[in-house]
Structures are given as C-alpha cells and as structure tokens.
Structure 1
Amino acid sequence: MTPNRFLLPEPVGKLLSLLPVYPGSLLFATGLNLALKSNLPADVQQSLSGKKLRIKVTDACLSFDFVWNGSRFAAGSSQGEPDLTIGASAHDFLLLAQRKEDPDTLFFSRRLSMEGDTELGLLVKNTLDAIDLPVFELGKLAPSRVFGRIKTGSGNSNS
C-alpha cells in the first residue's frame, strides 16, 4: 500500500497528540453550535440527546469529544467509550467540509470510519446531508498571503 501524500507527517501527529483534549473539544463543540445548532430538527435533537460522539482525526492523533445536551453541543470527556466515533485524516475531513468528497465514497474506500452505534451514524450523516451548510473555504479564514499557496480549486496550477 502506497503512503497517502495527504496525511500529516507522523512526527506532527505525535506532537499534536500531546495537546490536552478538553480545549480542542470545547472549540469543536462551539464551532458545531455556530454551524449546526439552529438547523437541527427537533427529532434529531431528541435522538442525539445525551449521546457521546467523538471525531477522531487519525493522522493528527487528535480526538474531539462532544454531546448534545438537549439545547446545544457541549465538550465531552474523553473518559469511557463514545456512542459513535467518526474517524478520518485531516485532509479527508477538509474535503468533506468543502463538499469536494462524499462521505459514502470515503467510507467505502476505507478513508472514513464509523465505530459504535451505526444507526446514530446514519442519523448524523443524513442530517448533515439535509442541512444546507456553507462550504468551508480556507481562503475566507485568513488573508491570501497565509493561504495563497493552498489550491482549493480544480487542481489547475495556473492562477
């Protein structure tokens, strides 16, 4: 198997794994609240209530634990097993956020994993598919001098 050129280098992952879990989970939950909270249907909120979820960025050796507490996403503890863990590389999560890759394609090519309550996983996937979210674009986060070299288009090197 050839190495994926889009994976973070192993030393970077080892360094990131030393970061404390809770602050990252708090930031992740805050981001989910900003992006999703107002778009979650009542039946989805009820199904998510009290469920412990984990996003695992495999090549970065990072995990984000969170729960839906009935009114918002909240950072969770990394203690105990989550009800659902969704894992992928940082690059593949970016492709999903940019809507350049479909979760089913990543799942069936074994680049996206789902462990735990598969019914909950399908609920999460179908809910995200149904919500019209803005596409995540790196270029809007910082001036072009920071992300100017990152190609987010069709791959054409002519800029």
Structure 2
Amino acid sequence: MSEGFTIPKFELPNFIGAIGRKLPQWPHALALVGGLNAALKLKLLSADDLEAITDKVFQVQVRDTGGTARFTYRNGLFRPLFRSEGEADLSFSANLSAYLQLLNRQEDPDTLFFKRELEITGDTELGLLVKNMLDAIELPKLPVGLPKLRH
C-alpha cells in the first residue's frame, strides 16, 4: 500500500470513451513505450525477463478513455505497433483509476484482477512473468510536496 495520496476508484463518463475510441491510438503507444524505454535506461527491468518477452505483442486498453496501446520488445527497445494485426500475446484492460492505483502501488494486479477491475487475457505464463517483472521494479521515491519558492 502506498503512503501519501490515495487514488479513488472512479470511472470516466461514457462519452469520453466514445470520443477516445475515434481518435488515433498511436500517441498512447508512443507514450507507453517512452515510459518503458526510460525504465530500460534506468536498468529497472531484468535482462532475463526482457529476453523472455522479445517479439511478444502486448496490448494495454484503458476502457473508460477509449485508449489502446500495442507494443512489442525487440532489438533492445520497446517499440510501438501501429497496426492491430492479429491477437496480442498478452492484453490488459482496465479503467484509468485501476492503472493509476497500480502505478501508485496502492493496489496490486492480483487484487484488481479478482475484483474484476483488471482483465488479463492471453498467454498465462507470459502474464505471470510480466506481473513478477513489474512487481520487482523499485520505483524511485518522489518528494511529496513542491519546495517553497523564496522571493
């Protein structure tokens, strides 16, 4: 459980998802792979785990925003996939609040899965590997508040 700010469970209004599904989806993939590649640069991900996910196709869907990102890991980098050809090897689907709670370490994937707030489909063994890989990441501690500016 995370200390500090608690992210409440919420669901964005349906019209946001309806609009989001009509917008280009590639910006979501670019943002996600940017974050994952930053984690690579910081050496937060295990080389053995990365080898095991090479050339696998992942999909992350944020249901209430209508956003979907598809990506893969190849040649030492996470790379966006701009076409939705075929099924992903592993797919995650949840509302924005569930993903934010995961990032904040307020909830774990198992809890959200069993509450039916996080849907995981595809290769079960790959899903367990990714879950364990993400659980092993030690996130840097960020300051709670902003420093006061002096005049």
Q: TM-score, normalised by structure 1?
A: 0.78
CA distance in structure 2 between the partners assigned to 1:36 and 1:58 by the alignment: 27
Cα RMSD after superposing both structures: 2.3
Output the amino acid matched with 2:123: D
SS in structure 1 of the partner of residue 18 of structure 2: helix
2: CA distance, partners of 1:25 / 1:94 = 17
Name 1:133's counterpart in structure 2: 139
Aligned residues: 137
* Aligned residues of 1:98 and 1:135 also touching (Cα < 8 A): no
1:11 to 11, 15, 33: 15
Given that 2:39 and 2:45 are in contact with CA atoms closer than 8 Å, whether structure 1 keeps it comes out as: no
* Counterpart mapping for 1:61-80 below 5 A: 61-76=66-81, 77-80=83-86
Query: Partners in 1 of 2:119 and 2:16 — Cα distance?
Result: 21
Equivalents in 1 of 2:23, 2:142: separation in Å?
Answer: 24
Q: CA deviation at 1:59?
A: 1.3
In 2, are the aligned partners of 1:7 and 1:90 still within 8 Å (CA)?
Answer: yes
CA contact (8 A) 1:26 1:75 kept: yes
Q: TM-score, normalised by structure 2?
A: 0.82
Structure 1 stretches of 4+ with a deviation exceeding 6 A read none
> Gapped runs of 5+ residues in structure 1?
141-159
Consecutive unaligned residues in structure 2, runs of 5 or more: 1-8, 147-151
For 1:23-82, what per-residue CA distance to the aligned partner results, in whole angstroms no more than 9, with x for missing partners?
A: 221121111111345222221111110000001111112111010013010001322211
Structure-1 separation of matches of 2:140 and 2:86:
33
Distance 2:55 2:141 in 1: 28
SS class of match (1:127):
helix
Cα displacement string for residues 64-122 of structure 1 (whole angstroms, at most 9, x for unaligned residues): 10100130100013222110001110010000001111111101111111100011110
Percent identical pairs in the alignment equals: 44
